[in-house]
Structure 1
Amino acid sequence: MGIESIRAAYGVRAAEYTRILGSVEDMHEKDRERIGRWASSINGLLIDVGCGPGHWTDFLYQRGASVQGIDLVPEFIESARVRFPEVPFSVASFRNLDVPDESLHGVLAWYSLIHVPPNELSLVLREFSRALAQGGQLLVGFFDGSPGDSFPHAITTAYYWSPEQMGHLLGDAGFEVIDVETRQDPGKRAHAAITAAVR
């Protein structure tokens, strides 16, 4: 599944997605706590990559973070700019962040890497590592499962990763894993989150 196909698949359903999943209040309380706690420890520029409807970007902004959101899907960005006019958003790909080396202090990739094909994920993680200053932190959320296995996500093909394999990929990209969280909520796919810092 190429970038343009992913962009088109989300574009068609952006309004529906935003209506169902575009509010922080609809997110798991533990996710709100984790993302808020992570952001409070960072002093510097954050980017919410694959920000979708922009709700997490605004969540960070409201807590005083210097943050901007980027997404591949113009429909998401147009909606986010209307819903959260104080927050900077732009249409962009996280495969090329277009920022100087070591210029960021945090990257939030909350379920935004799930459609990246397994053979391309390492390149994306290296791009995050390049853009983050030493000690800068990445927080990634993803579906916990057999590494690299695909499944029919509601929008388009997505992939599972185990915390162990994601940790290995992060290590290869220049990160040190700080902590790992896993959770199995009834009726939902298993969740995992990893915080990692640039070595």
Structure 2
Amino acid sequence: MDRASLLLFAAAYLAVLILPGPGVTALVARVLTRGAQGAPAFIAGFVAGALLWFTVAATGLAAIAATFAVLFVAIRIAGAAYLLRLAWKLWTAPARPAAAADASPDSNARLFLTGLAINLGNPKVIAFFLALLPTVVDLRTLTPAGFAELALLVAVIASGVLGAYAVAAARARRLFASPRALRLMNRGGAVAMAGAAAAMLVRRNP
């Protein structure tokens, strides 16, 4: 693909991801309350979801995605339910020191599935790709090389943006040391996760 098209796609996708959505909110809340351990697994799941939606849009499978709309609604509900469970755990968690909080993180597999469910449960993602891709390339003539270039951009931008948010949250977390501050941080994270879950539940299919 020509460089201008790739830059247009990259700029548009970056602009969308920089604005915090349910995925960024859930990631930041978890890093603030549990540390950065496990963040790569969550980000990997999020990127996998983005790549799946991109593939659906780029290969013209939107009609198939619409056929299985009920499945994606179920995924969205499951992801929201897990975020609500995490929110409750954070709200009721004791104010432990940072090292103790990092000692018992959720499993990487569970965090991966959480990131995946959040992205697959967001129909706005495929709507974005369906709206953007035709302005960048003629999908009827999209070559395997062009597909690979766009997919690489999706993976790099998504992981880069979420990674930057995770690093910023990890640095901010060091400012909280007292039990009262830790308790407030836990409950703030719980509210943020509950808000992310609510945002997932109220989204409608495009």
TM range (shorter): under 0.3
Structure with greater helix share of residues: 2
TM-score (norm 2): 0.27
Between 1 and 2, higher relative CO (CA 8 Å, sep ≥ 6) is seen in: 2
TM-score (norm 1): 0.28
Which structure has the larger Rg? 2
